[in-house]
Each structure stands twice: as structure tokens, then as C-alpha cells.
Structure 1
Amino acid sequence: MNELLWYVSRGTGVASIALLTAVLVLGVVTAGWRRPHGESATVVMAVHRWLSLGMVAFVVAHVATAVGETYVNIDLVSAVVPFTSGYERVLVGLGTVAVDLMAAVAVTSWLRPRIPERVWRGVHWAAYALWPVALVHGFAMGTADQPVLRGVTALCGVVGVAAVVWRLLSSSPDRQRRDAVLEERWT
């Protein structure tokens, strides 16, 4: 049974980072100046929300199986309070930080109709910290003899970085128009 929990923990961890990366990419797309409009925006936001919910479910399963398996000792407190684990304190702690950030983003998203928009947006920006912290946790805690798991995590890193770079480099239509006006000759 313990071996099964170990495999489920690794599998749900990799599925979690893959889902988190997909959620990040969709979030970046919907937050940018080139975001979809109309029905396609509704579909993209719905997929973003449903994948987020799925990611939360996989993270809960990942944490539960990591705490439940006894190959290494990770207790429930270490799953909630960062850097308290007796096993790989820093790396497990990074995973805990990611879980705590995920919980904050999830709770404020659930409460979004009841809280000010700027509060929700401020907490939602934590996702930009959540993703790299989770990525480092997953890559560093990944088993060395499991190249597929590390490969998936590395691929998620490439895809996530590409999405964020695209977001940073994409300019608003208004900015493009202002630049065009500035380039015109004023004689």
C-alpha cells in the first residue's frame, strides 16, 4: 500500500504542475491586451476555472498521499506550515508555500463576488509566484530515476516562461497607435 501511495503522490504532483501550467497560460491569455472577446472569452475563462478546480483536486490528492505514505516523514503540519518538515525542509517547504498561495488564490476566487476587485486581483497576482515555486519544488523533489516526470516538469517550465514572456512583450493596441503617431513627421 505504501508503494502505491508513493506512485500516486508522484503522479498527482506531475499532473498538478501540468494543470497549474495550463491554468497559468490561460490566465496570461485572458489578462493580456490581446485577450479573446465575446464567446471565445467565455469559453477560455470557463476552461481556466475548470482546470483550476481540477488542479486543486490533484494538489489535495498529492498532499494527502505525500503525508499518508511512510517512505519519508512528511506530517500534516508540514503540509500547511512552510519549512517545518524533517525531510528536505526547504524543498518540501517550497511545496507548502505553493499550496498556501494556491489556497489563497482559490479562496479569494471563490469569494470574488463578495470582495473588492482590487483585493481579488492583488491576491490573484500571487499565482505568478505560485507557479515558479511549485515548479522548483516539483523539479527538485522529482525522483532522479524518473526522467519522464522531470521532463514533464521541465516542459511545463518552458511553456510557462514562454507564456509570461509573450504577456510581457505583447503591447496594447493603444500603445501601438501612440507609437505610430510618434513616428509620424510633424512638419
Structure 2
Amino acid sequence: METSLWVLGRGTGVVALVLLTVSLCLGIAVRSRRTFADLPRYGVTALHRTAGLTGTGLIAVHVLTLLLDPQAGLHVVDLVVPFAGSYRPFWLGLGTLALELVALVSISGLLRKRFGERAFRAAHLTSYALWPIALGHSLGTGTDVGTLWLNGIAGACLVAVVGAVWWRLGAEFGKPAVRPGATGTDRTVTTR
């Protein structure tokens, strides 16, 4: 049973990282006001929310299984107080910070109308800090640190996020796309 808890805990953590990556990239895509893969903006928004909430659910399973696993040595205080753990305290502390930030982002997203647009946006901007903290946690703790498969997944996630953020910071972000065959002065919005 203990091995099953550890495998489930580690696996859900890795899949949660992938889903947080997808959610962050789709959040940037939503902000661009463009359609993607023939999906209208509301479809991209729905995928963004689904990936984020599913990732959050997997983080809950990740934390719960490792809390129940006696081999992991995780304590309730480790979930609340960053850098207080006995096992790789820095890397575990990053996980605690990521957990707190994902809670903030998720709650602000679910209660967006009650938070107000300004507070929602401010809370959601913490995703840009959440993601690298979560990546650092995944690369610094656990028995899979340094394995080819984990490094490959983390590398693919890194490339996706860096590419999305690069696009987000670019001069063309948020501008209407040019229709194929149109001149540079003939722009149309590709939203539906």
C-alpha cells in the first residue's frame, strides 16, 4: 500500500504540472482574444478552466496521498509553513508555496464575480510565479529527480511556457490576426 501511495502521489504531481502548464498557456491564449484550432474563445476559456481545475484536483490527491504515506514523512505543518520540512526543506517549501498560490488562483477563478475583475486579475497574475515555483518543486524533490523521463516532461513544459510568455510579451499579442491572402492593412478579428 505504501508503494501505491508514493506512486500515486508522484504521478499526480507530474500530471498536475503538465495540466498547470496547459492551463497557463491557454490562459495566455484566452488573453490574446484569438481563436485556436477552430475553437471559439469561449471554448479556449473552457479548456483553460478545465485544465486548471483538474490540475488543482490532482494537486489535492498528490498532497493527500503523500500525507498518508508514512515513507514520505510529510506532516500537516509542511502544507502550511514553507521551508519547515525535514526532507529537502527548500524544495518541499517550494511545493508549499505553490500549493498556497494554486489555492489563491483557483479560489479567485471560482469566485470571480464576488472578487471583482481587478482582484481576480491580480490574483491570476500570480500564475506567472506559481508555475516556476511548481516546476522547481517537481525538479528538486521526490525519487524521480534527475530521471530522463521527468526531465523530458519538465523540459517540454518549460518550452511551452517560455514560448507562450514570449508571445504574450511580443508586440503582436492581442492584435487581430491577418486573414490568409490579405494584405497587411486588411486585418480582421478572428474571434467568433
Question: Common fold, TM-score beyond 0.5?
Answer: yes
Task: Name the structure with the higher helix share.
Answer: 1
CA distance in structure 2 between the partners assigned to 1:17 and 1:57 by the alignment: 12
Structure 2 counterpart SS, 1:173 = coil
The 10-residue stretch of structure 1 (148-157 or 41-50) with the greater mean CA deviation from structure 2: 148-157
Q: Which residue of 2 aligns with 1:127?
A: 127
Q: Which residue of 2 aligns with 1:85?
A: 85
CA distance in structure 2 between the partners assigned to 1:88 and 1:54 by the alignment: 27
Map residues 83-162 of structure 1 onto 2, 5 A cutoff: 83-142=83-142, 143-144=144-145, 146-162=147-163
Q: Deviations over 1:43-87 (max 9, x none)?
A: 000111111111111000111112111223111121122112111
Q: Which residue of 2 aligns with 1:74?
A: 74
CA distance in structure 2 between the partners assigned to 1:115 and 1:67 by the alignment: 31
Q: Deviations over 1:146-180 (max 9, x none)?
A: 42123212211111111111111142539xxxxx9
The percent of aligned pairs where both chains have the same amino acid is 37
Matching residue's letter, 2:141: M
Q: Which residue of 1 aligns with 2:27?
A: 27
- Shift in Å, 1:15: 0.2
Runs of 4+ in 1 over 4 A off after TM superposition: none
Provide closer, same or farther for how the CA distance between residues 169 and 96 of structure 1 changes in structure 2, counting only shifts above 3 A. same
Structure 2 counterpart SS, 1:72 = coil
TM-score (norm 2): 0.84
Matching residue's letter, 1:104: L
Matching residue's letter, 2:175: P
Matching residue's letter, 1:141: T
CA distance in structure 2 between the partners assigned to 1:72 and 1:86 by the alignment: 11
Q: Which residue of 2 aligns with 1:167?
A: 168
Whether the aligned pair in 2 keeps the contact of 1:139 and 1:154 (CA below 8 Å) is no
- Runs of 5+ consecutive residues of structure 2 not aligned to the other structure: 177-183, 185-192
Whether the aligned pair in 1 keeps the contact of 2:98 and 2:130 (CA below 8 Å) is yes
Whether the aligned pair in 2 keeps the contact of 1:83 and 1:89 (CA below 8 Å) is yes
Q: Which residue of 2 aligns with 1:59?
A: 59
TM-score (norm 1): 0.86
Whether the aligned pair in 2 keeps the contact of 1:94 and 1:134 (CA below 8 Å) is yes
